[in-house]
Amino acid sequence: MIRIIQIPFGRKLFIFSVLTSLILHAFPAIVFGATIENGDAVFLRTNRGLYLNTDNVPLAPAKVKSTRELDPKKSNEVWWIERPNGKSGTINYGEGVFLRTNRNNYLNTDNTPLAAVKVKDDASPHASNSNEIWWIEKAGSDDRTKIHAERTRPNIVETTKTTSFGSGRKMTTSASISRNGLLEMNTWSDTVNVTRGLSGHHVFVICYDQHGNAIWVSKAYKCKTIGGTGDLLTKSNDHDKHLEKFPDVIGKHTFSLKISHHSGSAKSARDIIVGSTKEAVEIHNEVKAELDRLED
């Protein structure tokens, strides 16, 4: 036999507040999300409960302490996590970041085994030679990029862009790429001008990884000519569809796309992007292995 017990309203509120408090303390990641944003102030703790500390003057050594000051304005144990490019948003595994104190000193090292760790009052934003950029990696894995990619990369990455060329002429392209590297582009060319259309216009797409690095560039595709609305022999609007298969790892590591429209040839613009992509250093090794296949 089931017995129903009525709980007074005031007691319900008490029980609810107690349960909420327990949840907040036991499962903070569930309530607030286990993410760190650009500009967040954090403690850096060891597995023995010691906190990274500095005397907070230029060239002062970094060390660890068993206590911490909680007030960020006073604390020498609080560190601000910042992207070198200042871009806002969640900090991802494998990203390079600055660790800044409340006096604008940056954690630094001479970057050789057993070198001392200290703070400096300036920081180089160039990942290839900076001694102030630190890479955040998840403990227990030797593949920092794969962790984040598998957790957050959607099955389809897509974007749309419209570009106006003046005089009532425009191009609109929607582009999408699947996990296996299949790119689909649909471009609509249109004019409302009586005498002016578009001829020889091109479109291409750039793939970016989760850190904003360009990792691949599509071919530049020429679109169908359109004539002005007064041209009885040529359409004033038309559609082009293009499919291109990239290496599988490009699809896997693509987190965003950028569409590039050109009223004429796109060769020089594309060549510049291809060149810089092939010279990139801060990209996943799987991607680097495929860059020889990227056509100039």
The pTM score is: 0.52
Return d(Cα 180, Cα 206) in angstroms, integer. Answer: 16
User: What does 150-200 look like in DSSP terms, one character per residue?
Assistant: HHH--SEEEEEEEEEEETTEEEEEEEEEETT-EEEEEEEEEE--SS--B-S
Q: What is the pLDDT of residue 198?
A: 94
Return d(Cα 239, Cα 221) in angstroms, integer. Answer: 12
Question: Could you tell me where the DSSP H helices lie in the chain?
Answer: 9-26, 28-32, 144-152, 248-253, 267-278, 285-288
- CA angle 273-275-281, nearest 5°? 100
Return d(Cα 98, Cα 106) in angstroms, integer. Answer: 7
Ranges of residues in the chain with a pLDDT under 50 are: 1-5, 7, 9, 12-13, 15-34, 141-151
**Strand 169-178 and strand 156-166: pairing?**
antiparallel
In order of 44, 59, 121, 148, 197, the CA distances from 107 in angstroms are: 12, 9, 9, 25, 57
In Å, the largest CA–CA distance within the chain is 86
Return d(Cα 284, Cα 272) in angstroms, integer. Answer: 21
Domain-by-domain residue ranges, the chain? 34-136, 151-293
Take residue 91 and report the two structure tokens written for it: 């900090």
Q: What is the pLDDT of residue 100?
A: 85
Q: What is the pLDDT of residue 138?
A: 56
**DSSP assignment, residue 290?**
T
Q: What is the pLDDT of residue 152?
A: 52
Q: Is 34-136 in CATH node 2.80.10.50?
A: yes
* Identity of the amino acid at 285: N
Take residue 172 and report the two structure tokens written for it: 């609109």
Comparing C-alpha atoms, which of 205, 203, 188 is closest to residue 257?
A: 205
Return d(Cα 70, Cα 76) in angstroms, integer. Answer: 9
Q: What is the pLDDT of residue 58?
A: 81
